């Protein structure tokens, strides 16, 4: 069954435009209630990031869910991985996240977690879409669901994150700049690292409903780089608006992306004989990651882009570590979904184990020059003959020293044009030329 509304990461769009409207989200809540409840009673947890539109969508969702006879527990502003964790902890039927992740404030979205704190299987999303096509029928008044708030959610999740760091001595002696992107981690992340002993400098912790991800966070690490240098910090940690992604900055102010972080974590696990298999990356992962893992005899597999596909390949192989260059990292022995705070703690654990700064650890992997340009156009453009021919010409120019990838985004109305190779000048020239053809 083709899914009409669910994309690679739930349902997402511009607020006020279908499907991110109060009318649709009300019906979505009811449909989800029907899909998750079956013949059982129970509760569904709802959390959100700091977007102003979250209030409106939260009210619509809880009205829809309770109209299907299911109780709702509200978490308030809370990172996406926290909602996954708390759904398991409270034995919820499901968890719902109101967030558009790294997108600007005018976008929002709805994504779901199963009772096990994992992204939904396709068949459950199809069931929700089935009910979206059915007439909305409210349960009898005596069976309407109730709404209550979980008041200690933040404290529970902070303790969970702290338990994911195993190195002795905590983070004593480290000065860390933590950039929360004015998003869902603003009350969480600084406390996690400071309670583990670090001297924390906070950035992006003043959300106003409109500034989420604006010039801060994992998608805009320049502010973090500047503060790390200014404060002479040991490193910086940049999370995105909903806290499931992380990139870091070393003491030199250089960005350490998801590929490099995955390598650091993999090397640490491999050194301690705790890797349990190989690593899953994506078709966008830097070729340098693959080669660095090969030197350690660590198997590497490329999945489609999107954490749900990385997760599927990890589960199929029985592996525990995977991730994307964007900073969405899965450590399945630590968390059931991508968790920016937990992933950062795994890197800090590696630094303690090797007694090395982040700059030294990431330099053991040599990245290939890679350029990506987002082109706003119809996603079907990649299939047109002129574009196909341009890709062939670029691949012929690179030969065996690089690769070309055109990928329609699953979360934005753009086509991502990526070129990778050994010669940075050539990579930039080919990428710009190809982006011009795609956008023409």
Catalytic residue annotation: 101
**CA 252 to each of CA 224, 299, 319, 359, 360: distance values in angstroms, whole numbers, following the listed order:** 12, 31, 33, 8, 11
User: What 3-state DSSP class applies to 420?
Assistant: strand
Are 77 and 47 in contact by the 8 Å Cβ rule? The answer is yes
User: What 3-state DSSP class applies to 323?
Assistant: strand
- Buried residues in 239-271 as b, exposed as e (16+ CB within 10 A): bbbbbbbbbbbbbebbbbbbbbbbbbbbbbbbe
Are 259 and 285 in contact by the 8 Å Cβ rule? The answer is yes
Q: How far apart are the first and last CA of the chain?
A: 34
- Rounded CA-CA distance 377/252 in Å is 38
- Rounded CA-CA distance 305/326 in Å is 10
Q: Is 49 annotated in some ligand binding site? A: no
Q: Is 242 annotated in some ligand binding site? A: yes
Q: Is 101 annotated in some ligand binding site? A: yes
The β-bridge partners of 418 are 372, 405
- Rounded CA-CA distance 261/225 in Å is 17
Closest by alpha carbon to 114, among 53, 191, 172, 44?
44
Closest by alpha carbon to 263, among 285, 234, 239, 233?
285
Place of tokens 């989200």: 25
- Residue 279 sits at the vertex; the CA angle it makes with 101 and 237, to the nearest 5 degrees, is 40
DSSP 8-state symbol, 28: H
Q: Is 215 annotated in some ligand binding site? A: no
Are 171 and 348 in contact by the 8 Å Cβ rule? The answer is yes
Residue 430 token pair: 């080919």
Could you list the residues known to form a binding site, using ranges.
101, 240, 242, 244
């Amino acid at each position: 069954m083709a899914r009409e509304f669910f994309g690679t990461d739930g349902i997402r769009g511009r607020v006020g435009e279908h499907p991110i409207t109060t009318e649709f989200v009300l019906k979505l809540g009811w449909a989800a209630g029907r899909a998750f409840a079956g013949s059982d009673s129970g509760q569904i947890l709802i959390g959100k990031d700091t977007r102003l539109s979250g209030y409106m969508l939260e009210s619509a969702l809880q009205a829809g869910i309770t109209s299907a006879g299911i109780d709702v527990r509200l978490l308030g502003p809370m990172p996406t991985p926290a909602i996954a964790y708390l759904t398991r902890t409270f034995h919820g039927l499901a968890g719902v996240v109101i967030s558009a992740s790294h997108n600007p404030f005018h976008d929002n979205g709805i994504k779901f977690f199963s009772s096990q704190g994992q992204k939904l299987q396709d068949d459950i999303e199809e069931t929700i879409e089935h009910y979206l096509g059915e007439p909305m029928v409210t349960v009898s008044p005596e069976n309407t669901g109730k709404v209550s708030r979980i008041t200690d959610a933040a404290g529970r999740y902070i303790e969970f994150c702290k338990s994911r760091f195993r190195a002795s001595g905590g983070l004593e002696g480290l000065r860390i700049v933590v950039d929360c992107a004015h998003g869902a981690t603003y009350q969480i992340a600084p406390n996690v690292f400071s309670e583990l002993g670090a001297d924390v400098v906070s950035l992006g912790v003043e959300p106003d409903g409109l500034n989420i991800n604006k010039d801060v966070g994992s998608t805009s690490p320049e502010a973090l780089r500047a503060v790390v240098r200014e404060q002479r910090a040991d490193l910086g940690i940049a999370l995105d608006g909903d806290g499931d992604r992380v990139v870091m900055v070393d003491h030199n102010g250089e960005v350490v992306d998801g590929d490099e972080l995955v390598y650091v974590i993999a090397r640490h696990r491999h050194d301690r004989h705790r890797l349990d298999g190989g690593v899953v990356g994506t078709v966008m992962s830097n070729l340098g990651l693959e080669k660095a893992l090969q030197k350690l005899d660590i198997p590497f597999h490329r999945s489609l882009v999107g954490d749900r596909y990385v997760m599927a390949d990890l589960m199929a192989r029985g592996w525990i570590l995977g991730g994307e260059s964007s900073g969405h990292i899965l450590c399945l022995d630590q968390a059931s979904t991508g968790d920016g705070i937990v992933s950062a703690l795994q890197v800090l654990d590696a630094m303690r184990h090797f007694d090395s700064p982040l700059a030294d650890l990431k330099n053991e992997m040599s990245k290939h020059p890679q350029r990506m340009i987002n082109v706003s156009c119809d996603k079907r453009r990649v299939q047109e003959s002129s574009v196909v021919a341009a890709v062939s010409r670029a691949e012929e120019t690179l030969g065996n020293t690089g690769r070309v990838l055109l990928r329609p985004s699953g979360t934005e109305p753009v086509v991502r044009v990526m070129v990778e190779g050994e010669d940075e000048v050539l990579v930039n020239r080919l990428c710009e030329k190809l982006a011009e053809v795609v956008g023409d």
